[in-house]
Structure 1
Amino acid sequence: MPRTDMFTGLAEFLAVADQGSFRAAAAELGVTPPAVSQAIRALEVRLGLRLFQRTTRSVALTEAGAALLAQLSPAARDIGEALDRLSELRSRPLGVLRLSVPRIALDLAVLDVIQAFRLAYPEVVVELDVSDASIDITANKFDAGIRIGEFIERDMIAIRLTRDLRWIVVGSPDYLTVRGRPASPRDLLHHECIRYRFPSAKTIYRWEFVRGGETYTVEPRGGVTVNDHLSMIDLAIRGVGLAYTNDLVARHALGTGALEEVLKGHLPVKLGLFLYFPAKNQSQPKLRAFIDFAIKHVRDSPVFVLSNTV
């Protein structure tokens, strides 16, 4: 018997056996009584056995029908329970949640949230890919990502996590004592700048400044290039040179006096960090739970704000 025919007619058989009527079975299955009758006849022909004794007033199982029902009933219950469990999986947060995050977001927006989220949802396994590289989260099968707003594709759903970022140039007190404090971006030509290169790019990131409401860029000069913002901060603290970063990343070093800000009034304010994902992912219970949890968790943090999508 071809395996494709193995289950043909069994749903109708079980429904008639349960309801004791072709008409009631048809109503349960959402088909016509003739369709049920035809399916039962085809099953009986295939098995070479009569399964029901039919009269004008009643339908009763034959001995063969009763034997088949006894064999099928446990399996039918198991299948029903399996389907119920699958239905539950559609609504319960579980499985692997894959997130792409830049290094700077790990301390600012991720680590504390992940720790609390895992305690609340132990059935969700969180997989973090930490990289400043520009990553196509759809092609690389991530559920969501966290990025600075200006680098997020416009077809993504984006939920703001932090306030806007104020970009700054910083240096250590020792460096500024020896090399002096630049008064304008032009003075950077005479300074050692710690340069930044995106992992996925070949060019050096150009420092952006504002003049008369217009934005312009300067290519920094220096003997050290990194691809990680936190490494840049560490190097600046050690007096290697000036660093171009944002006020959230440098907030601790500024607060302790390990770094000092220069060129105030020359730098732009840009979009902050956003959690983003393709529209097709937003119905996933695991992602929905993470979004709701993250927003609630950071509600009272001074670096985070609640916002609608971009």
Structure 2
Amino acid sequence: MDDLKAFLAVARLNSFTKAAAELGVTPSALSHLIKALESKLGVRLFARTTRSISPTEAGRQLIDDLAPLFEKVDDAIKRLSELRDKPAGHIRITGADDAIEYILRPALTRFLVRYPDISVEVGIDYGFTDIVKERFDAGIRLGEDLNNDMIAVKVSPNWRQIVVASPQYLRTHPVPKKPDDLLKHNCINIRYSEKSGLYAWEFEKGDKKLNLKVKGQFTANTNTHVLNAVLDGIGIAYLPEYYVEEYVKEEKLVALMLDWCPYFDGYYIYYPHRRQDSPAFTALLDILRYEEA
């Protein structure tokens, strides 16, 4: 069973190194284990190159047969632990770092103190994680990006991205009044994943809607580094208002063109149907749920 679980981890992560870290063993030990399993079964499970691994036809068949069974075993164990007097278990959540910071962090200490038998693991990812495939219990994502086959619960009010710049940058550059003015500025871009393009800045005023591709000298793949760059005076950034409001209040940043910045449909926690029967997950859901005023 342990060997098969290790095989599924390697197949899911497409990496001996990542799977070894998850399983708490060395990559070489895991490689020997998989080779021993292949020898025992009499078939090759992975095609290996110096740069990548991928399941063989036999490996793919074994994945298809085993993955649902192991998922049922894990769910059965989770349900058993949830029959205790107090909610207990391990909850895995994925989301972008600023979403986790905004939604989960304010409630996390209170939640963990109230439920000492529950542990929470966070996986930071700006991409569209397949939470079932990656074995997360839930994800946090904007309402407009949700999958239709998931249950979704709103966990934040509507919010918007705003244009900001540092006072030192604006001392040497003209203040932009409308979106097109940004094309003459050094704008800080974000690319959420290696496979995606640069994020287009979204503007709306009355019946006018515009997705603007801006240019600049610096691009990052997390809002943390975009924020650092705009604070350092490199250029103009487009960031969640909740993420920069303290800096605006302290006059470390200046908010620009607010009349052009539309609101989004807030954050949701989304999860597969099987998680709705878990007392531990329900307890977390209750503490995160956003109630409209």
TM above 0.5, yes or no, is yes
Contact between 2:141 and 2:269, CA under 8 Å: does it hold in 1? yes
> Offset of 1:87 from its aligned partner?
5.8
TM-score by length of 1: 0.65
Distance 1:141 1:110, change over 3 A: same
Moved over 4 A (4+): none
Q: 2:113 is matched with which residue: 92, 113, 119?
A: 119
In structure 2, the residue matched to 1:53 is none
Secondary structure class of the residue paired with 1:112: helix
Q: For each residue in 1:234-290, what CA deviation from the matched residue of structure 2 results, as whole angstroms up to 9, or x when unmatched?
A: 211110110011211111111111111112211211111221112221111211111
In structure 2, the residue matched to 1:196 is 190
Matched, 1:283 2:277: yes
In structure 2, the residue matched to 1:89 is 82
Contact between 2:81 and 2:88, CA under 8 Å: does it hold in 1? no
> Offset of 1:163 from its aligned partner?
1.0
> Match for 1:280: what amino acid?
R
Higher Rg? 1
Matched, 1:184 2:178: yes
Q: For each residue in 1:7-66, what CA deviation from the matched residue of structure 2 results, as whole angstroms up to 9, or x when unmatched?
A: xxxxxxxxxxxxxxxxxxxxxxxxxxxxxxxxxxxxxxxxxxxxxxxxxxxxxxxxxxxx
> Offset of 1:140 from its aligned partner?
1.0
Contact between 1:170 and 1:260, CA under 8 Å: does it hold in 2? yes
In structure 2, the residue matched to 1:148 is 142
Counterparts of 1:207 and 1:226, CA distance in 2: 15
Matched, 1:223 2:208: no
Distance 1:197 1:87, change over 3 A: closer
Contact between 2:100 and 2:140, CA under 8 Å: does it hold in 1? no
- Write out aligned runs for 1:4-43 (5 A): none
Q: 1:264 is matched with which residue: 258, 262, 274?
A: 258
Secondary structure class of the residue paired with 1:202: coil
Higher mean Cα deviation, 252-261 or 286-295?
286-295
In structure 2, the residue matched to 1:63 is none
Q: For each residue in 1:186-206, what CA deviation from the matched residue of structure 2 results, as whole angstroms up to 9, or x when unmatched?
A: 111110000011125330001
> Match for 1:215: what amino acid?
K
In structure 1, the residue matched to 2:154 is 160
Q: 2:103 is matched with which residue: 90, 105, 109?
A: 109
Counterparts of 2:180 and 2:82, CA distance in 1: 60
Contact between 1:159 and 1:307, CA under 8 Å: does it hold in 2? no
Counterparts of 2:80 and 2:268, CA distance in 1: 32
Counterparts of 1:234 and 1:213, CA distance in 2: 34
Distance 1:176 1:87, change over 3 A: closer
Distance 1:175 1:293, change over 3 A: same
Contact between 2:127 and 2:192, CA under 8 Å: does it hold in 1? yes
Q: For each residue in 1:78-123, what CA deviation from the matched residue of structure 2 results, as whole angstroms up to 9, or x when unmatched?
A: xxxxxxxx86733652121111121112321112322221111111
Matched, 1:98 2:92: yes
Distance 1:190 1:89, change over 3 A: closer
Secondary structure class of the residue paired with 1:108: helix
Distance 1:263 1:89, change over 3 A: closer
Counterparts of 2:81 and 2:136, CA distance in 1: 23
Uncovered stretches (5+) of structure 2, i.e. residues with no partner: 1-78
Counterparts of 1:90 and 1:137, CA distance in 2: 25
Counterparts of 1:112 and 1:187, CA distance in 2: 37
Secondary structure class of the residue paired with 1:128: strand
Q: What RMSD in Å do the two structures reach over aligned CA positions? A: 1.9
Counterparts of 1:280 and 1:263, CA distance in 2: 44
> Offset of 1:170 from its aligned partner?
0.5
> Match for 1:306: what amino acid?
E
Counterparts of 2:152 and 2:125, CA distance in 1: 19
Contact between 2:82 and 2:280, CA under 8 Å: does it hold in 1? no
TM-score by length of 2: 0.68
In structure 2, the residue matched to 1:306 is 291
Matched, 1:138 2:132: yes
Aligned residues: 214
> Match for 2:82: what amino acid?
L
